């Protein structure tokens, strides 16, 4: 055991540091480059548009949740917000908590005529300035459940809103966005990167990812920027347990006897328990984590291509999406119940034989 005086210990540290710098120049050069690039990226990422007055932003799905909060926040920051709501009540509620300069319009993204009316309204409001921002936030989750519980109508009900409606809204607003050299912010999901749970939701969000990527590459020539928001689980109307459980009960009740037997009588109850546990454990009530990303995409001089919103997205779902398929499959199997009726059916057939 070697004993050092304070001065000798300091000299020893300096010697080792010099040795590391001389012996491992590549390592030190790499670390320096990484730190330098991180600092440059941070500075670049924090550069913001200074004056937002006179910049029009159109947001879909503002009855509640992310769209409602974003409309209020952007309005307070000085943007000219045009909020699209599905219902009169949603429009009235939003107007009640903002000043009259915030405009609202009724919009059903599955109705082409409704979209045309919204485009006309926005064009009249924006005039020669064009549209600075389009936030495609409107969406729905249900019906969602095991694939063989669903029919084509169940898929259409989700895809028509989350994907087809989003595409049609975007295409019809593109002339105004090109005029304003604006931004498009499309709300996808972690389930667009890692599909779990049957139904149209993961399909639609995966489609939003692909559509946004191709759109970004096409629109870069016209000065239009495209960003994708990938939220984890948050407490909104889309993730309402009451709505999800009611729809699951509808799907279960209409199953034919053969499918119900294959899953087993207890499967439905176990499935509901998993839904309740996951929603209560994973769902964050702080939806500002999502609207912060939307706001950055609209106000940053250099908006990011993708924004992961929520710690579950950043630390679990998105990293898991890069893992080998077998790893993701095993992890998701641990989260969901297994059908037990099919085992009984197989055992019964073996006995009969």
How is the chain split among helix, strand and coil, in percent rounded to 5?
Answer: 65, 10, 25
For residues 321 and 222, give the distance between their C-alpha atoms in angstroms, rounded to a whole number: 32
Residues β-bridged to residue 187: 229
Tell me whether the omega of the peptide bond preceding residue 78 falls within 30 degrees of 0, making it cis. Answer: no
Mean residue pLDDT of the chain comes to: 89
For residue 124, give both structure tokens.
Answer: 């009249």
Predicted local confidence at residue 352, as pLDDT: 46
What's the pTM? 0.86
Q: Contact at 8 Å (CB) between 43 and 300?
A: no
For residues 98 and 101, give the distance between their C-alpha atoms in angstroms, rounded to a whole number: 8
For residue 12, give both structure tokens.
Answer: 């020893």
Structural domain spans, the chain = 6-43, 52-238+285-336
22 pLDDT above the threshold of 50 = yes
**What mean pLDDT comes out for the span 121-149?**
94
Predicted local confidence at residue 247, as pLDDT: 92
**Homologous superfamily of the 52-238+285-336 domain (CATH):** NAD(P)-binding Rossmann-like Domain (3.40.50.720)
Predicted local confidence at residue 4, as pLDDT: 47
The pLDDT-based confidence of 20 (bands split at 50, 70, 90) is low
HSE toward the beta carbon, residue 141, CA cutoff 13 A: 23
Kind and range of the H or E element at 304? none
For the chain, list the strands marked E by DSSP: 56-59, 80-85, 103-106, 133-136, 183-187, 225-231, 306-309
Q: Verify whether residue 201 is a known catalytic residue.
A: yes
For residues 104 and 91, give the distance between their C-alpha atoms in angstroms, rounded to a whole number: 6
First to last CA, the chain: 77
Predicted local confidence at residue 314, as pLDDT: 93
- Per-residue pLDDT tens digits for 232-277: 999 888 778 888 899 999 999 999 999 999 998 889 888 888 888 8
Residue 266, SS3 per DSSP: coil
Say which residues have a Cβ less than 8 Å from residue 328's Cβ, sequence separation at least 6. Answer: 194, 320, 321
One of 56, 132, 201, 307 is an active-site residue; which one?
A: 201
**What mean pLDDT comes out for the span 73-85?**
95
User: Interhelix angle for 288-299 vs 65-77, to 10°?
Assistant: 50
Instruction: State the Cα angle at 346 between 340 and 347, rounded to 5°.
Output: 95
Tell whether the torsion through CA atoms of 254, 259, 264 and 267 is positive or negative: negative
- Per-residue pLDDT tens digits for 315-348: 999 999 999 999 999 988 888 888 877 665 555 5
- Per-residue pLDDT tens digits for 203-223: 999 999 999 999 999 999 999
The pLDDT-based confidence of 16 (bands split at 50, 70, 90) is low
| pLDDT > 90: percent of the chain | 65
For residues 257 and 234, give the distance between their C-alpha atoms in angstroms, rounded to a whole number: 35
């Amino acid at each position: 055991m070697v004993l050092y005086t304070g001065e000798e210990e300091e000299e020893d540290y300096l010697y080792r540091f010099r040795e590391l710098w001389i012996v491992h120049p590549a390592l030190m050069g790499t670390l320096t480059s990484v730190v330098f690039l991180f600092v440059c990226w941070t500075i670049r990422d924090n550069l913001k548009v200074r004056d937002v007055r006179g910049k029009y932003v159109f947001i879909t799905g503002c009855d509640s949740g992310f769209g409602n909060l974003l409309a209020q926040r952007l309005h307070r920051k000085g943007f000219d917000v045009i909020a699209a709501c599905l219902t009169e009540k949603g429009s009235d509620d939003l107007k009640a908590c903002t000043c009259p300069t915030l405009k609202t319009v009724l919009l059903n993204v599955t109705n082409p005529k409704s979209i045309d009316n919204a485009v006309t309204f926005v064009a009249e409001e924006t005039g020669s300035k064009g549209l600075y921002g389009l936030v495609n936030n409107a969406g729905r989750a249900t019906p969602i459940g095991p694939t063989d519980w669903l029919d084509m109508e169940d898929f259409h009900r989700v895809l028509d809103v989350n994907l087809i409606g989003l595409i049609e809204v975007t295409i019809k607003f593109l002339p105004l966005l090109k005029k304003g050299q604006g931004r498009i912010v499309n709300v996808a999901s972690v389930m667009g990167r890692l599909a779990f749970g049957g139904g149209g939701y993961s399909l639609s969000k995966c489609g939003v990812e692909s559509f946004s990527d191709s759109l970004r590459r096409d629109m870069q020539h016209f000065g239009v920027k495209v960003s994708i928001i990938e939220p984890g689980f948050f407490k909104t109307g889309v993730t309402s347990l009451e709505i999800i459980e009611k729809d699951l009960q509808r799907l279960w009740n209409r199953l034919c006897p053969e499918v119900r037997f294959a899953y087993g009588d207890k499967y439905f109850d176990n499935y509901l328990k998993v839904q309740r546990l996951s929603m209560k454990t994973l769902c964050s009530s702080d939806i500002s984590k999502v609207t912060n990303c939307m706001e950055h995409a609209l106000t940053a001089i250099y908006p990011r291509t993708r924004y992961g919103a929520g710690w579950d997205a950043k630390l679990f779902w998105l990293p898991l999406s890069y893992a080998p398929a077998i790893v993701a499959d095993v992890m998701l199997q641990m989260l969901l119940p297994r059908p037990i009726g099919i085992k009984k059916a197989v055992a019964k057939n073996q006995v009969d034989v």
